[in-house]
Chain A
Amino acid sequence: MRYSAWQILKQGLTGNTGWQPHWRSPEPKAEYDVVVIGGGGHGLSTAYYLAKEYGITNVAVLEKGYIGGGNVGRNTTIVRANYGIDGNSEFYSHSLKLWEDMEQELNYNTMMSQRGIINLFHSDGQRDAFAKRGNMMISQGDDAIMLGRDEIREMLPYISYDNPRFPVYGGLYHPRGGTARHDAVAWGFARGADQRGVDIIQQCEVTGIDIENGVVRGVQTSRGPIRAKKVAIVVAGRSSQVAAMAGMRLPIESHVLQAFVTEGLKPCVDHVISFGMGHFYLSQSDKGGLVFGGDIDFYASYASRGNLHMAEHVMEAGMALMPMIGRAKVLRSWGGIMDMTPDGSPFIDRTQTEGLFINCGWCYGGFKAVPGSGKCFAHLMATGDHHPAASKLRLDRLARGHVIDEEATGSQHNLH
């Protein structure tokens, strides 16, 4: 069914009885051309682009839980292309362009809202660093505007400007950045992939990867064995475990990142704002809740919940930036598991096993990469060549010394 204003009117007049499920729930077939392990945002967009762009429709997406139940439904929904280093820069630029066309592409309301991102700075040194970053973004073909304190004050009258430790000197404004409805992105890609023949199989856990003489043959699952000519591992959060099934050891340590949302408030925050005290950032959802978060908890974790020390730090940062939110009640908080890499950048690559591909290491930046990651990964699997926008996101780059270390913090996994 194609969604349109006409369809809403028609269904409204007929008691909303004609809506159909977004995707089928087929039994797994014995064999597929491609099996995608992981039905998160990246896995679904990979399957979508395999079918749409490369005509490979005999594809299964295997999801251990349910669609939208992993990190694609646990993030803070921010979309941006404000990276500065070769490798990341062209990739996120490509991904942002796909975000801008996504609703038409998928015929699905993903609530893409380019409300603009403002990264505040609080010292002369930080101003120089942001000016450099802005120039790198413009060189890449994206948008960045340096704003002074007075210009920021017009846009964000409600923040604290004279914090003694973090006075606001100005901000780097990225107008094309913003937010999107995270669940809708998963549902939209799932629907689009399903319409093109992809089987989305939920409640199907992969328990083993079959490899014969260095060539992948298929996977073992909780719903029986499935043969496949090509297998894609797209399971950020659990990458190390699934890769171990193929005898691989990854440059990844898993960490928990917390996020928080307040009760619904009337519209008050028009942009995405980031504060230089730690990693604090905040936006307001269309439902009215203030959605905010900070750094990872800094220790290895697979628990989808964090500890109070980071909750406390995030609340302190929020209060320091905009004291007005002190009255808002926090409705809930949650944690997602991140694949932290030694340089803070992801991997989209083939493996030593023929026919086995891997997409992992998104740290805490996976959501904005959803369309770009799927497109580049599908390109790699379909053509055998790296997509030009993801040609540097290679698994062996660390061993070669070609790190993509955006924050220049060195090779410790939790420092990115």
Chain B
Amino acid sequence: MRITCPLCGDRDRREFYYMGHETYLNRPAADAPLPEWDAYLHLRDNPAGDTQELWQHEAGCGAWVVVTRNTVTHEVKGSELAETYPREART
């Protein structure tokens, strides 16, 4: 599997660290109700198909990247920097 880093281009999967679903980008406020923290840390849609995930180009430029990937075929369909990836609005 090869992943496209928005800064470095097409690279081997071994250069990247996988963290999990892009849910991790929407961290609740420190005083958010506990069910929100439970959902953030534990609950996942876990789709069999296209999904957005948080990877880090650990052995490359170090950028955090949101990768669109198919979990059934392992096809990588796109990637963008986590820095500029739209966050879900939270109150």
Q: Which residues of A contact B (CB under 8 A)?
A: 238, 240-241, 249-254, 298-303, 307, 309, 342, 398-399, 411-414
Residues from chain B with a CB closer than 8 A to the CB of A253 are 20-21, 44, 46
- With A399-B35, A412-B20 as given contacts, are A301 and B44 in contact (CB-CB < 8 Å)? no
Chain A residue with minimal CB distance to B55?
A299
- Which of B44, B51, B74 contacts A252 (CB under 8 A)? B44
In the complex, A301→B73 CA distance in Å? 8
Is B48 interfacial (CB 8 A cutoff)? yes
Number of interface residues of B (CB under 8 A): 27
Is B32 interfacial (CB 8 A cutoff)? no
In the complex, A413→B51 CA distance in Å? 16
Residues from chain B with a CB closer than 8 A to the CB of A399 are 34-35, 38, 42
Known: A299-B13, A300-B18. 9 other contacts (CB 8 A): A249-B45, A250-B43, A251-B44, A252-B44, A253-B21, A302-B72, A303-B71, A398-B38, A398-B42
In the complex, A411→B48 CA distance in Å? 22
In the complex, A399→B40 CA distance in Å? 11
Q: How many A-B contacts are there with CB distance less than 8 Å?
A: 70
Residues from chain B with a CB closer than 8 A to the CB of A251 are 42-44
Q: Which residues of B contact A (CB under 8 A)?
A: 1, 12-14, 18-21, 34-35, 38-39, 41-48, 51, 53, 69, 71-74
In the complex, A309→B20 CA distance in Å? 18
In the complex, A414→B74 CA distance in Å? 17
B interface SS class: mixed
In the complex, A300→B1 CA distance in Å? 13
In the complex, A328→B64 CA distance in Å? 41
Distance between A200 CB and nearest chain B CB, rounded to angstroms? 25
Contact A307 B20 (CB under 8 A): no
In the complex, A241→B71 CA distance in Å? 13
Contact B34 A300 (CB under 8 A): no
- With A300-B21, A399-B34 as given contacts, are A309 and B14 in contact (CB-CB < 8 Å)? yes
Tell which of A251, A253, A299, A399 has the most Cβ of chain B within 10 Å. A299
Distance between B85 CB and nearest chain A CB, rounded to angstroms? 18
Distance between B27 CB and nearest chain A CB, rounded to angstroms? 13
Contact B44 A413 (CB under 8 A): yes
- Which of A241, A307, A398, A412 contacts B74 (CB under 8 A)? A307
Chain A residue with minimal CB distance to B14?
A309
In the complex, A309→B69 CA distance in Å? 18
Contact A298 B21 (CB under 8 A): no
In the complex, A309→B43 CA distance in Å? 28
Between-chain CB contacts (< 8 Å), 30 pairs: A240-B47, A241-B48, A249-B39, A249-B43, A250-B46, A252-B44, A252-B46, A253-B20, A253-B21, A253-B46, A254-B46, A254-B71, A299-B13, A299-B53, A299-B69, A300-B46, A302-B72, A303-B71, A303-B73, A303-B74, A307-B1, A307-B13, A307-B74, A309-B13, A309-B14, A398-B38, A399-B38, A411-B42, A412-B19, A413-B44
In the complex, A254→B53 CA distance in Å? 13
In the complex, A414→B16 CA distance in Å? 14
Chain B residue with minimal CB distance to A342?
B42
- Which of B1, B18, B19, B44 contacts A249 (CB under 8 A)? B44
Contact A300 B41 (CB under 8 A): no
In the complex, A24→B48 CA distance in Å? 33
In the complex, A249→B48 CA distance in Å? 14
- With A307-B13, A412-B19 as given contacts, are A302 and B71 in contact (CB-CB < 8 Å)? yes
Residues from chain B with a CB closer than 8 A to the CB of A301 are 71, 74
- Which of A241, A250, A254, A298 contacts B18 (CB under 8 A)? A298
Residues from chain A with a CB closer than 8 A to the CB of B34 are 399
- With A253-B20, A398-B38 as given contacts, are A300 and B43 in contact (CB-CB < 8 Å)? no
Tell which of B38, B46, B51, B71 has the most Cβ of chain A within 10 Å. B46
Tell which of A399, A411, A412 has the most Cβ of chain B within 10 Å. A399
Chain B residue with minimal CB distance to A248?
B43
Contact A240 B45 (CB under 8 A): yes
In the complex, A254→B73 CA distance in Å? 14
In the complex, A192→B20 CA distance in Å? 41
Distance between B91 CB and nearest chain A CB, rounded to angstroms? 21
Distance between B86 CB and nearest chain A CB, rounded to angstroms? 21
Distance between B42 CB and nearest chain A CB, rounded to angstroms? 4
Residues from chain B with a CB closer than 8 A to the CB of A413 are 20, 44
Residues from chain A with a CB closer than 8 A to the CB of B72 are 302-303
Residues from chain B with a CB closer than 8 A to the CB of A241 are 48
Residues from chain B with a CB closer than 8 A to the CB of A302 are 48, 71-72
In the complex, A298→B41 CA distance in Å? 17
In the complex, A413→B46 CA distance in Å? 11
Tell which of A253, A307, A309 has the most Cβ of chain B within 10 Å. A253
